[in-house]
Amino acid sequence: MKKTGKRIKFLKGEKLMYLLLLFIIIAIPVGKVCTQAILSESNIKVEKLRKEINKQQKYNESLNMKISELASLENVESIANELGLSYNNNNIRTVSE
């Protein structure tokens, strides 16, 4: 007796369904890895921007303190005295809203 191997024949529609299922099985994990990589890259950029913002805020605070120092009455009086100016209360005008 001759033993013949039976070959399974798929219909055209079945082949398409199996290929589509195989594509989906491969595409979902690949897509998930890609989206995780993009999300990770975005998080790194956000952290860099936060650090840069904090650095700029500290710099702005130091500049505000420097402005306050330079605009203080004592500093203005000392610079005026160095330039030979005098304090005359009659020349002072106040502006109110």
Residue 1 lies in a domain: no
The yes-or-no verdict on residue 1 having pLDDT over 70 is no
Residue 94 lies in a domain: no
Residue 30 lies in a domain: yes
The model's confidence at residue 97, banded by pLDDT at 50, 70 and 90, is: low
Residue 90 lies in a domain: no
Q: How far is CA 31 from the centre of its chain?
A: 24
Residue 76 lies in a domain: yes
Residue 97 lies in a domain: no
94: left (phi over 0), alpha (psi -120 to 50) or beta: beta
59 CB-side CA count, 13 A: 6
pLDDT of residue 7: 74
Residue 48 lies in a domain: yes
pLDDT of residue 48: 98
94 CB-side CA count, 13 A: 3
pTM of the complete model = 0.57
The domain in which residue 16 lies consists of 12-85
The number of folded domains in the chain is 1
Residue 65 lies in a domain: yes
- Residue 52's CB is within 10 A of a number of other CB atoms, namely 10
The model's confidence at residue 12, banded by pLDDT at 50, 70 and 90, is: confident
Which one, of 66, 65, 63, 43, lies nearest residue 55 by Cα? 63
For residue range 40-92, what is the model confidence (pLDDT) as tens digits?
Answer: 999 999 999 999 999 999 999 999 999 998 888 888 888 888 888 877 777 77
pLDDT of residue 8: 75
**Which amino acid is residue 31, in one-letter code?**
G
The yes-or-no verdict on residue 6 having pLDDT over 70 is yes
